[in-house]
C-alpha cells in the first residue's frame, strides 16, 4: 500500500469534500481517502499495483477540480518552489530513545549502593507503508509559489462579489418596489424598464455560476447540500422573474431580490474561504521562518547557496540573529537559540558543541557552525506540519455529528420550502408572495455555517496546539481528553530526568554544604560512572565551580580517591566505610538509612577516616513534574505511575510528587495490562510514555500521549505527541480539549440553532403582524451566522494554554 497527498483546489465549500471523498473512494484499488478542506488536499491510501496516482488525479479533474500536486514519478518541490532532489519523506519520524541509566556498581565505585534505576531501551519505530507527502509550501517573498491555485477560491468569490455588487446597485436603484418603499423616482430613459432583468440575468449567470456548478456536482453524486439550496433559491427566483417579465403571469418579478441574494451569497463564501485560510496562517508562518539561503563552509571558504542545495553533512555558518536553515548538530561555537516557534519554550535554549538545532529557529548573539542532519521535508518543522495536517484531516465524532445534522437540515429546508409554498397557495396568497416565501426559506436554512462550524475550530485548535508544542495526530484523542479522569505516567524520563542527581544530602557540623559539594564534584569529575556524573552535574546545576583534582585513583571495590587543594579525600559507599573504618556522625548515618529506605544510593565524602558528607543519589525528579501533577489534581484527575523500579524507589517518587496510584516492578510487556486494569474500573485513562518502549500501553489507553524531546517526536506512538519532555503539557492538553469542545458546541448552536426561529420567520408565520423577511434579508441572516461562527472560532487563538 502507498499513501499520496493530492491537491484538490476549487472546492467551493466544506460540502465539496464529501463528493471528492466518495468519487475517489470508488476508484478500484483505493483503500481510503480523506480530504482536508482547509489545506485543499486529499490523502489517498491505495494499492499501487492496481491503480496509479495519475488515475486518481484524473478522477479529481473529472470532478471539475484542479490537481497539480507532483505525482509519484515527479520530484516534489520544497517550500520555496525549488526542486528538492532528496528522497520522499517517510511517513513517520523515529522516536527519541532514552539512554540507559546504568546500575550503580562499576569497577571504580564497587562500594556504591546498587540502584535499580535503569531506563528501558527504546528502539526506533518505523511506518509500515510508504508515504508520498510533499513538504508544506511557503510563500516566500521573491518566490512564486509552486501551487498557482493556492488561495484561488477566496479570490474567485472576492472578484465575483465585487463585480456582482457593482451590477446589483443599479438593479436596486431602478427597482420599482425599492422606489415605492423609499419614495423616490429613478431617472427614466429608453430601455430602463429592461435594466433590472438584463443586469440581474448577468449577475445570475456570472455570480451564480459557482453555485450552480456546485449544485450540479452535489446532485450528480447524490449528496445534496448547501450549493443545492442556494441554486434552488436563485434559479426559482430567476425563472419566476422571467416568466413575469414576459407577461406569462401577472405578478411582481424578483429581480432586485435575485441580484442582492447572489451578491450576499458571494460575500458569505468569500468570508468563509478567508477564515479557513487564516486558520492555517500560523503554520504557514512557521514555514516562512526558513531562510531562502544559507552560508555553507567549504574548503575554499564561505559560499551563499539556496537552502534546496543543502545536503546532509554540509557545514553551515549561522550568524547572530539568523534563522537556522536546516536541522543539524553544533560543531563549533556557543549561543542561545529561540525555539519558541517549534517547541513553545519561551526562554532561549543554550547550545554548544554536540547539541542539536532545529530548522527555522532563531540564533541568538553567538555564531554557530552546524553540520546538516536534515533538510527539506526531512526537517522536524516539516514533520510537525505534516502531523498537524493529518490531525486536521481526521474526523472526530463532533465532525460526523455536524455532517449528519447538515444533511438532515438540507432535506428539512427543501421540505419546509415546498410546504411553505403550498401552504400560502392554499391560503390564497399571491403567487409571487408564495414564491418569495419559498425562496427565503431555502436561503435562510442553508447549512453554510454548519459545514464550517467544526472544521474551522479544528484547524485553529490543532495549530494552536502545535504552536505550544502539542502535536495532535488524531483529533479523536484531543476530543476525548476532556473526559479523562486518570493519567498514567511512565516514571523514568517522564516524571524524572532519566539521569542521576543528588536528591538529598547531609554534611558534618562545621562544613558548608556548597563547599562539601565542590570537593565531592572535583573528586568525581575524573570518573565516567553515571553516579559520579550525576554528582558533578548537580554541582554544575547549582553554579558551583568544579575544582581540578590531583592523583585521582580508583580503589577497587570501595570507591575513588583524589587530592583537592592539597588534601586527600575518598568517596564511596558502605564498603568504603567498612574498609577504612570510617567514623560516621549520627546525622549522616540517619541520612544514609533514609536513602536506603527509598532505594537510593548513599555516597560518602570521607577525609582522614571521618565522614564529612553523605549524598543520596537517584534518578532526579523533574521540577516540572510537581506542577504538572498539582495541575491535574486541580482538574479532579487521578494520577498513576508505572515503573520497572523497585517498590521502595517508586514509593519514594510517588510520595514526593503526591501520586495517587503506583505500579512498581512492572515489565514493559505488562504495562498494557495495568492500563486495562484501570479501564476495567470504569476510568477514562491516558498513558504518557516515551512512544516505543511504552507503545503497547499507549495503544491500549483511551488516549496515548507520546513524550518527545527537542522536537524528536515519536509520531507512531499515540494520539498526541509532546514536542517537549515537559509533563506540564499534559494539563495543557486537557485545557485545549475542553476549550475546543466548548467552541464546537457554541458553533453548532450558532450555525444550526438559529434555524429554529429563522425558518418559521422566513416562511411568514409573522405575516399577519406585518413582519416579513425578503430573500436578501434571509441571505444576510444566513451569512451573519457564518460570520459569527468564524469569529467565535477565531477567539480560540486568544486561549492561554
Q: What is the pLDDT of residues 163-210, one digit of tens each?
A: 988 998 998 888 877 777 778 888 888 878 888 899 999 999 998 888
Q: How far is CA 65 from CA 9, 156, 272, 278, in A?
A: 6, 14, 19, 22
The grid coordinates listed for 160 are 465575483
Report for 97-111, 451-465, 572-586: range of highest mean pLDDT = 572-586
Helix 53-62 and helix 16-25: axis angle, to 10°? Answer: 140
Higher pLDDT, 253 or 533: 533
pLDDT, average across residues 588-603:
87
Does the structure show a pLDDT above 80 at 786?
no
Share the mean pLDDT of the chain: 76
302 grid coordinates: 564561505
Question: Which pLDDT score is estimated for 276?
Answer: 56
Whole-number pLDDT of residue 146: 31
Residue at grid coordinates 532532489: 85
Contact between residue 635 and residue 563 where contact means Cβ atoms under 8 Å apart: no
Cα–Cα dist 604/523, whole Å: 12
d(CA 110, CA 22) in angstroms, rounded, equals 68
All cell numbers assigned to 164: 456582482
Reply yes or no on whether the pLDDT at 659 is more than 90.
Answer: yes
Q: Which DSSP helix (H) or strand (E) runs through 6?
A: strand 2-7
Task: Show the cell assigned to 684.
Answer: 477514562
End-to-end, the C-alpha distance of the chain in Å comes to 39
Query: Residue 318 pLDDT > 80, yes or no?
Result: yes
Is residue 395 within 8 Å of 367, Cβ to Cβ?
no
> Over 80: is that where the pLDDT of 334 sits?
yes
Q: Which of 87, 83, 94, 154 is nearest to 123 (CA)?
A: 94
Give the contacts of 759 (CB within 8 A, at least 6 positions apart).
413, 416, 441, 444, 445
Residue 113 near residue 596 (C-beta atoms within 8 A): yes
Using DSSP's 3-state secondary structure scheme, residue 487 falls into strand
419 pLDDT band, cuts 50/70/90, is very high
Closest CA to 257 of 379, 436, 394: 436
Angle between helices 255-279 and 152-173 (to 10 degrees): 160
C-alpha cell recorded at residue 496 = 524524572
Q: What Å distances lie between residue 173 and 50, 161, 167, 197, 370, CA to CA?
A: 60, 18, 11, 13, 68
User: What would the pLDDT profile of 212-236 be if each residue is shown by its tens digit?
Assistant: 888 887 777 776 766 777 788 788 8
Strand order in 362-363's β-sheet? 349-351, 335-338, 362-363
Q: Highest mean pLDDT range out of 185-189, 640-644, 736-740?
A: 736-740
DSSP bridge pairs for 297: 302, 315
Of the listed ranges 54-68, 308-322, 489-503, 675-689, the least confidently predicted one is 54-68
What grid cell was written down for 402? Answer: 455536524
Residue 637: closest CA among 590, 688, 572, 676: 688
The reported pLDDT for the residue numbered 137 is 36
Give yes or no: 490 in active site. Answer: yes
DSSP state of 135: P
The mean-pLDDT minimum among 265-279, 312-326, 386-400, 414-428 falls in: 386-400
pTM here is 0.59
Q: Specify which of 551-560, 603-612, 749-758 reaches the highest per-range mean pLDDT.
A: 603-612
Closest CA to 279 of 142, 451, 516, 457: 457
Q: Let me know: does 680 contact 480? Beta carbons within 8 Å.
A: no
In 10 A of CB 338, how many CB atoms?
A: 17
Predicted pLDDT of residue 287: 62
Q: Choose from 29-33, 374-378, 603-607 the range with maximum mean pLDDT.
A: 603-607
Give SS3 for 62.
helix
Residues across the chain = 801
Choose the weakest-confidence range: 113-122, 511-520, 733-742, 791-800: 113-122
Which of 490, 651, 712, 726 is the catalytic position?
A: 490
Which among 488, 465, 472, 485 has a CA at the least distance from the CA of 732? Answer: 465
Read off the pLDDT band of 300 (50, 70, 90): confident
pLDDT at site 296: 92
Residue 350, all three cell numbers:
543554550
The rounded percent of the chain whose pLDDT value lies above 70 is 75
Least confident of 62-76, 216-230, 243-257: 62-76
Q: Is the torsion defined by CA of 125, 126, 128, 134 positive or negative?
A: positive
594's enclosing H/E stretch is: helix 586-597
Amino acid at each position: 500500500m502507498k499513501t499520496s497527498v493530492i491537491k484538490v483546489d476549487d472546492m467551493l465549500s466544506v460540502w465539496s469534500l464529501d463528493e471528492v471523498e466518495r468519487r475517489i473512494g470508488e476508484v478500484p484499488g483505493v483503500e481510503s481517502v480523506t480530504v482536508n478542506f482547509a489545506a485543499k488536499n486529499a490523502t489517498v491510501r491505495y494499492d499501487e499495483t492496481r491503480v496509479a496516482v495519475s488515475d486518481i488525479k484524473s478522477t479529481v479533474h473529472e470532478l471539475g477540480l484542479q490537481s497539480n500536486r507532483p505525482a509519484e514519478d515527479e520530484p516534489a518541490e520544497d517550500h520555496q518552489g525549488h526542486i528538492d532532489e532528496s528522497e520522499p519523506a517517510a511517513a513517520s519520524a523515529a522516536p527519541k530513545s532514552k539512554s540507559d541509566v546504568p546500575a550503580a556498581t562499576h569497577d571504580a565505585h564497587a562500594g556504591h549502593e546498587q540502584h535499580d534505576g535503569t531506563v528501558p531501551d527504546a528502539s526506533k519505530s518505523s511506518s509500515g507503508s510508504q508515504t508520498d507527502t510533499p513538504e508544506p509550501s511557503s510563500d516566500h517573498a521573491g518566490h512564486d509559489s509552486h501551487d498557482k491555485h493556492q488561495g484561488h477560491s477566496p479570490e474567485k468569490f472576492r472578484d465575483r462579489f465585487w463585480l456582482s455588487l457593482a451590477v446589483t446597485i443599479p438593479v436596486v436603484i431602478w427597482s420599482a418596489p425599492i422606489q415605492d418603499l423609499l419614495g423616490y423616482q429613478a431617472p427614466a430613459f429608453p430601455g430602463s424598464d429592461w435594466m433590472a432583468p438584463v443586469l440581474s440575468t448577468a449577475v445570475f449567470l456570472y455570480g451564480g455560476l459557482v453555485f450552480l456548478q456546485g449544485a450540479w456536482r452535489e446532485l450528480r453524486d447524490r449528496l445534496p447540500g448547501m450549493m443545492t439550496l442556494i441554486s434552488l433559491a436563485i434559479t426559482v427566483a430567476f425563472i419566476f422573474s422571467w416568466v413575469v417579465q414576459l407577461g406569462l403571469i401577472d405578478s411582481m418579478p424578483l429581480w432586485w431580490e435575485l441580484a442582492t441574494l447572489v451578491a450576499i451569497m458571494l460575500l458569505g463564501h468569500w468570508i468563509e474561504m478567508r477564515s479557513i485560510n487564516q486558520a492555517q496562517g500560523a503554520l504557514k508562518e512557521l514555514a516562512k521562518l526558513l531562510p531562502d539561503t544559507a552560508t555553507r563552509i567549504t574548503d575554499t571558504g564561505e559560499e551563499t547557496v539556496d537552502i534546496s542545495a543543502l545536503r546532509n553533512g554540509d557545514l553551515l555558518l549561522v550568524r547572530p540573529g539568523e534563522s537556522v536553515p536546516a536541522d543539524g548538530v553544533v560543531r563549533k561555537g556557543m549561543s542561545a537559540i529561540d525555539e519558541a516557534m517549534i517547541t513553545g519554550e519561551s526562554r532561549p535554549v543554550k547550545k554548544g558543541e554536540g547539541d542539536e538545532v532545529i530548522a527555522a529557529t532563531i540564533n541568538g548573539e553567538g555564531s554557530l557552525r552546524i553540520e546538516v542532519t536534515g533538510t527539506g521535508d526531512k526537517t522536524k518543522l516539516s514533520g510537525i506540519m505534516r502531523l498537524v495536517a493529518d490531525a486536521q484531516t481526521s474526523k472526530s465524532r463532533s465532525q460526523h455529528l455536524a455532517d449528519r445534522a447538515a444533511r438532515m437540515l438540507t432535506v428539512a429546508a427543501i421540505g419546509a420550502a415546498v410546504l411553505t409554498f403550498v401552504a400560502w397557495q392554499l391560503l390564497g396568497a399571491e403567487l409571487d408572495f408564495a414564491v418569495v416565501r419559498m425562496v427565503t426559506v431555502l436561503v435562510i436554512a442553508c447549512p453554510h455555517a454548519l459545514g464550517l462550524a467544526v472544521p474551522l475550530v479544528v484547524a485553529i485548535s490543532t495549530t494552536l496546539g502545535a504552536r505550544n508544542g502539542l502535536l495532535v495526530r488524531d483529533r479523536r484523542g484531543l476530543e476525548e481528553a476532556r473526559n479523562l479522569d486518570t493519567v498514567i505516567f511512565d516514571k523514568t524520563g517522564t516524571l524524572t530526568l532519566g539521569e542521576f542527581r543528588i536528591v538529598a544530602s547531609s554534611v558534618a557540623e562545621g562544613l558548608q554544604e556548597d563547599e562539601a559539594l565542590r570537593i565531592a564534584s572535583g573528586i568525581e569529575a575524573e570518573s565516567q560512572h553515571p553516579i559520579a556524573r550525576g554528582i558533578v552535574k548537580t554541582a554544575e546545576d547549582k553554579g558551583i565551580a568544579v575544582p581540578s583534582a590531583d592523583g585521582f585513583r580508583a580503589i577497587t571495590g570501595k570507591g575513588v580517591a583524589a587530592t583537592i587543594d592539597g588534601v586527600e579525600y575518598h568517596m564511596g559507599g558502605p564498603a568504603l566505610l567498612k574498609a577504612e573504618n570510617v567514623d560516621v556522625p549520627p546525622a549522616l548515618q540517619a541520612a544514609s538509612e533514609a536513602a536506603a529506605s527509598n532505594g537510593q544510593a548513599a555516597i560518602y565524602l570521607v577525609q582522614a577516616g571521618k565522614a564529612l558528607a553523605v549524598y543520596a543519589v537517584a534518578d532526579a525528579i523533574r521540577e516540572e513534574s510537581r506542577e504538572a501533577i498539582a495541575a491535574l489534581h486541580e482538574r479532579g484527575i487521578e494520577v498513576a505511575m508505572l515503573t520497572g523500579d523497585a517498590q521502595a524507589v517508586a514509593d519514594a517518587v510517588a510520595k514526593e510528587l503526591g501520586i495517587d496510584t503506583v505500579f512498581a516492578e512492572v515489565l514493559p510487556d505488562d504495562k498494557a495490562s495495568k492500563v486495562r486494569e484501570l479501564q476495567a474500573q470504569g476510568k477514562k485513562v491516558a498513558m504518557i510514555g516515551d512512544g516505543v518502549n511504552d507503545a503497547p500501553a499507549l495503544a491500549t489507553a483511551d488516549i496515548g500521549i507520546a513524550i518527545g524531546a527537542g522536537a524528536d517526536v515519536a509520531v507512531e506512538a499515540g494520539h498526541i505527541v509532546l514536542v517537549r519532555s515537559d509533563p506540564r503539557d499534559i494539563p495543557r492538553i486537557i485545557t485545549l480539549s475542553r476549550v475546543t469542545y466548548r467552541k464546537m458546541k457554541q458553533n453548532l448552536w450558532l450555525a444550526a440553532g438559529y434555524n429554529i426561529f429563522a425558518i418559521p420567520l422566513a416562511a411568514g408565520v409573522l405575516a399577519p403582524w406585518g413582519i416579513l423577511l425578503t430573500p436578501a434579508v434571509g441571505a444576510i441572516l444566513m451569512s451573519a451566522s457564518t460570520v459569527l461562527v468564524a469569529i467565535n472560532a477565531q477567539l480560540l487563538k486568544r486561549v492561554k494554554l
